[in-house]
Amino acid sequence: MFNDIYLDNGATTMLDPKVVKVMLPYLTKHYGNPSSNHSYGDKALEAIDKARKVIADSLNAKPENIFFTSGGTESNNWILKSVMFNSNKKHLITTKIEHKSVLNTCKWLEEQGYHVTYLGVNNEGFIDLEQLKSSINDNTALVSIIQGNNEIGTIQDLESIYKICQENNVLLHTDACQSYTKVPIKADFISLNAHKIHGPKGIGAIYAQKIEAWQHGGQQEFSLRAGTENVPAIVGFAEAVKLSLKNQNKVVKLRDKLIEGIKDYVKINGPLEKRLNNNVNFSIIGKSNDYLGEKLRQHSIACSTKSACSSKSLEPSYVLKAIGLSDEEANSSLRFTVSRFNTEKEIDYVIKTIKRLTQ
Ligand SMILES: Cc1ncc(COP(=O)(O)O)c(C=O)c1O
């Protein structure tokens, strides 16, 4: 089983052995608390400072605007709740194709009396910029739009979205958990995590120039998120960022080879351009994704029959429904997400298997 071909990198990725190597000393030797006033503490604090600079540089930002979190879910919660709680405006705009950590936070905010507009998308998953413009009103505090969609890979035109927000004095947040290190990111608030880029799970960050404290206690993270820092994970996150920035070409080649090999046999979901470089989502109409998932398991291919967070749900994917797929089309879909650790040989085998399954 553990030799299966892993094509579920949108759910999570293998820790790069080079990341493990830099993390290990912080688990075994440099285990000090960064707040401690001795050599162990100094070593840990120095590692965090260095890591923060790596993340900041990757966004052309200042280190003091990067705050480590426990991952993408916490990053999204912190930004959405803090911005809304601390604004005298009560309206937030998002999309129907956000990750659940944004959608369910928005639903909860609605229960607290906030108003949320959920923008629809076209058949490739793009929002309509005119609709965004006309949805902004005097009560709008924040726009929150996922940059690279986790299911269908659509990369929104964040630059134009940001321009519209700035022209209308509205703040922009983007969930960049899937797009980080793959495309440039610019917004007022950014959510990041490490486990989609061969870093450890349970570590993420936010970019913010000004934000209220999230967790109260000690003075960690500039007194905005208290709690002893997860030093090994922070060190691993930064190493993963460095490696990921250097290694995107192989990923896109594998993704394109896969699409080219299957496109005449399946219905590709999502755009052909402006798409996350690791994402292939498609339907084999007439075959249920439960059936397809089982067949691929038998062929030792690990992929996603829905997004990982809802793979246990029987409902058709809300993202595929939002781009206009019927229940049948949505329920016959698969998501393959490649990584730099896949090989051309694996992709050849996968193409052959998919062709066979469509017959
Ligand atoms: C777009 C997006 N946002 C947020 C998350 C949640 O991140 P984490 O698993 O680090 O909490 C994920 C991961 O599933 C994601 O794909």
Residue 307: pLDDT over 50: no
Residue 312: pLDDT over 60: no
**Which of 70, 102, 177, 309 to mutate to test ligand 1, by most ligand atoms within 8 A of the CB atom?**
177
Tokens of 234: 């922070």
Q: Are strands 267-269 and 279-283 parallel, antiparallel or unpaired?
A: antiparallel
Residue 2: pLDDT over 80: no
Q: Determine if ligand 1 sits within 6 Å of the CB of residue 99.
A: yes
Distance 159 CA to ligand 1 centre (A): 22
Measured by CA distance, the residue closest to atom 16 of ligand 1 is 150
Interval 60-86 mean pLDDT: 98
Of all helices (H) and strands (E), which one includes residue 193? strand 189-193
Distance 71 CA to ligand 1 centre (A): 7
Catalytic site includes residue 106: no
Distance 72 CA to ligand 1 centre (A): 5
Residue 213: pLDDT over 50: yes
Distance 191 CA to ligand 1 centre (A): 9
Q: 45, 175 in Cβ contact below 8 A?
A: no
Q: 88, 182 in Cβ contact below 8 A?
A: no
**Tens-digit pLDDT profile for residues 150-159:** 999 999 999 9
Q: What is the pLDDT of residue 315?
A: 83
Residue 314: pLDDT over 80: no
Residue 127: pLDDT over 50: yes
Q: What is the pLDDT of residue 3?
A: 79
Q: 12, 356 in Cβ contact below 8 A?
A: no
Give the nearest ligand 1 atom to 204 CA: 10
User: Measured in whole angstroms, how far is the alpha carbon of residue 243 from the centre of its chain?
Assistant: 17
Q: What is the mean pLDDT of the chain?
A: 96
> How many CB atoms neighbour CB 257 within 10 A?
17
Reported as a pLDDT band with limits 50, 70 and 90, residue 313 is low
One-letter identity of residue 9: N
Residue 171: pLDDT over 70: yes
Count the helix, strand and coil residues of the chain and give each as a percent rounded to the nearest 5. 40, 15, 40
Give the nearest ligand 1 atom to 72 CA: 7
